[in-house]
Amino acid sequence: MATWLITGCSTGLGRALAQAVLAHGHNAVVTARNPSTLQDIAAAFPHTALTLPLDVTDRAQISSVVQQARTRFGGIDVLVNNAGYGYRAAVEEADDADIRQLFDTNVFGAVDMIKAVLPDMRAKRAGSILNISSIGARISPAGSGYYSATKAALEGLSGSLHKELQPLGINVTVIEPGAFRTDFAGRSLTQSATALRDYADTAGKRRKEQDTVHGTQPGDPAKAAEAILTVVESPNPPSLMVLGKDAFDAFAAVAQAERAELDQWRDLSLSTGIGG
């Protein structure tokens, strides 16, 4: 039996993962900014679920949650940084305060969670950290530049963290989902107040009032949760796990296009050495 700490469990993948973890017999610290959304989970698993309020931009709350996890379960074996939200705007349209709040939640909130659990994991020489990213980090759609940037930042951080922690017995995995049947494109999606006409045919097509995807996404959150459990329980977990056919195909297409462009400009790239 392991103890999981999962952020952002009110809806979507976080909620499905919390339910799956508990159904498999593990302990789970299940968190959300509004803990009333978690009452059914607490009632269904009174001995193994600890539901707590958590805003990942609040360091005092993070410290409190980690301490309560220690008191109740003895420590945390698996951290899942799932809390976050989407933001759509052309790069020029975005409000500065919106951008900073997005990075505070999607990037620095995850960083603070990692720093809070690592001392115990290092002491035990064991643990798993899963950072929930997005295929957006790979495909960078027009209108999602800032959201994609937060996920790319999280992935870059995770790559270095993986190399730092693997010798200490701690695994780090980036989970990169495609479109799943969650509330991401609904309540969890925000956008700029400004909409410039010059971007109507690019970023404008991804604004909420133009979005037709919500409720029709191909991915099943319950199946994603089971896949994440399989990753954590694997003797050799991957550093990156893509979830969903749409994400897999998009990842492969980007990798192929990047390789083709790399080869196209090979001679110029290699011409820049001293004496070359």
Domain ranges in the chain are 3-248
Q: How high is the pLDDT of residue 179?
A: 86
Written out in words, the top-level CATH class of the domain with range 3-248 is alpha beta
Bin 84: left if φ > 0, else alpha if -120 < ψ < 50, else beta: left
Q: How high is the pLDDT of residue 276?
A: 58
Q: How high is the pLDDT of residue 265?
A: 98
Q: How high is the pLDDT of residue 184?
A: 56
Please give the helix or strand (H or E) that residue 270 lies within, else none. Answer: helix 266-270
Instruction: Confirm if 49 and 254 have CB atoms less than 8 A apart.
Output: no
**Which parts of the chain register pLDDT below 50?**
none
Instruction: Confirm if 145 and 91 have CB atoms less than 8 A apart.
Output: yes
Instruction: Confirm if 95 and 208 have CB atoms less than 8 A apart.
Output: no
Q: How many of the other CB atoms lie within 10 Å of CB of 202?
A: 12
The catalytic site residues sit at 133, 147, 151
Report the C-alpha gap between 211 and 228 in whole angstroms: 28
Q: SS3 helix, strand, coil % of the chain, rounded to 5?
A: 50, 15, 30
Instruction: Confirm if 231 and 240 have CB atoms less than 8 A apart.
Output: no
Report the C-alpha gap between 90 and 143 in whole angstroms: 5
Can you count the helices (H) and strands (E) in the chain? 10, 9
Q: At what angle do helices 145-165 and 109-124 cross, to 10 degrees?
A: 10
Q: Give first-to-last CA distance, the chain, whole Å.
A: 58
Q: How high is the pLDDT of residue 118?
A: 98
Residues pairing with 176 in the sheet: 242
Q: How high is the pLDDT of residue 181?
A: 56
Report the chain's mean pLDDT, rounded to a whole number: 93
Order the strands of the 27-32 sheet from edge to edge: 49-53, 27-32, 3-6, 78-81, 127-132, 170-177, 240-243
Question: DSSP code of 187?
Answer: T
Q: How high is the pLDDT of residue 11?
A: 87
Report the C-alpha gap between 210 and 94 in whole angstroms: 18
